[in-house]
A = this chain, B = another copy of it.
Amino acid sequence: MKKIAILTSGGDSQGMNTAIRAVTKAAINKGMEVYGIRRGYKGMLEDQIFPLTLLDVSGIADKGGTILLSARLPEFKDPEVRAKAAANLKKYGIDGLVVIGGDGSFHGAHYLYEEHGIKTIGIPGTIDNDVAGTDYTVGYDTALNIILDAISKLKDTATSHERTYLVEVMGRNCGDLALYSAIAGGASGVMIPEAQSSIDKIAEVIKKRRAEGKLYDIIVVAEGVGNIMDIKNELAKKVDTNIRVTILGHIQRGGAPTAFDRILATRLGVRAVELIEEGKGGLMVGIQSEEVTTHKLSYAWENYSKASASDYAIANMLSL
């Protein structure tokens, strides 16, 4: 009987629990034995490994966070550390491992497969949508909806006081959360790491809007663009509206996953188990053009994907 393990690693995201549930149910359904590893690679190294049952994953599909906990372990770059962690898995006779996390976490999974033959499968779980090989990462849609809810609340008070709000959202390298919350939230401007955003341009839009009688402006700024207080100060030199800054922060990472994230996590989880059943490893699963696809784990970080230029154009066109 095949034995597989699951861990979550790096920053948590909504839908990780849904993926854990899908992997566990699918594997047990196929007659496998399932283990959970607490605290990611750290727990693998420290032997925090325990049997995972159907009851453990019952009712967790709609819970934010990860019941397996997460952690970062920079030492996992050291081959000796990986060897020790791999030995722990082998002690239990585990030969398949599902890793839910971002591309950083996929590195570890890549080496565990290359060096120790552990059949690792990566499921992209991060709110940032910054993993190549998938159109969407698990958690991204939920974070986007949380941002929209916040923007909607900010619009109320922005309008009452005729203010301009700069809203900082997550995304160090990838501007997707900012770009699409700007489009969906009816923002008057967006600043993302991938495009040269001009404060002059944003100032011009604000002036035009006010001339048309509009009472508020929402400008969405990805955290990777730079210090938001500096941006505020620069903008304040160019417009005379009252500007406020809001940093949404970690509320973007929690809450019940949306339908989209739960369905995505479930599909990817089921596929991950099938791949291990087929004897495969060193792969990631993703959703591309509505199909579940597989790539080598290294694909995740070797294929840099820029934000959609056409959607950036749409965001700008609709900003007035």
Chain A contacts to B: CB under 8 angstroms: 8, 11-12, 14, 16, 18, 21-22, 25-26, 29, 54-55, 58-59, 61-66, 69-71, 135, 141, 144-150, 152-157, 159-162, 165, 180-181, 183-186, 212-215, 244, 246-251, 253-256, 258-260, 262-263, 266-267, 270, 288-291, 311, 314, 317-318, 320
Contacts and interface: CB of A to CB of B under 8 A. Distances in A.
A108 to B, nearest CB: 17
Which of A61, A244, A254 gathers most chain B CB within 10 Å? A254
Contacts of A244: 250
Nearest to A70: B160
A254 B12 contact: no
Contact of A156 (B64, B148, B314, B317): B64
How many copies of the shown chain assemble into the complex? 4
A26 B313 CA distance: 11
A65 B185 contact: no
Contacts of A246: 249-251
A294 B162 CA distance: 32
Given A135-B290, A156-B253, 6 more contacts: A59-B155, A64-B156, A69-B162, A141-B259, A156-B254, A247-B249
A26 B317 contact: yes
